[in-house]
Amino acid sequence: MNMKREELITKLKKIIMPYVQDEEAFKKLSSETDFIRDLKINSANLVDIVLDVEDEFNIKIENDDMEKMISVEGAMGIINTRLEEE
């Protein structure tokens, strides 16, 4: 199953919102948005995001996949890949 892009972004935004430290950058969120550089999310919270994504989408993100979980585009790619395997 391949979730619609809009639906996926909406769900992802809901997950990352509590950890965002730059509200302005969050309002302008695009697929290129970097969690650390742009949203100023701290690195411990990056792990929280990975766990919250696993819960929300009921998928498993391997430690090697975490490399890509640092931007909106990267996270969406991993989520879609894992959902297709389900």
When asked if residue 63 is in the footprint of another protein (CB under 8 A), the reply is yes
Backbone φ and ψ of 23, nearest 5° = -65, -35
The residues with which 11 forms a beta bridge, in sequence order, are: none
When asked if residue 56 is in the footprint of another protein (CB under 8 A), the reply is no
Q: How far is the CB of 53 from another protein (least distance, A)?
A: 11
- CA–CA separation, 83 vs 51, rounded Å? 15
Decide whether 8 or 45 has the Cβ nearer to another protein. 45
| Nearest-5° Cα angle at 33, 31 to 35 | 125
Interface residue list for another protein (CB under 8 A): 21-22, 36-37, 40, 42-48, 50-52, 54, 63-64, 66-67, 69-70
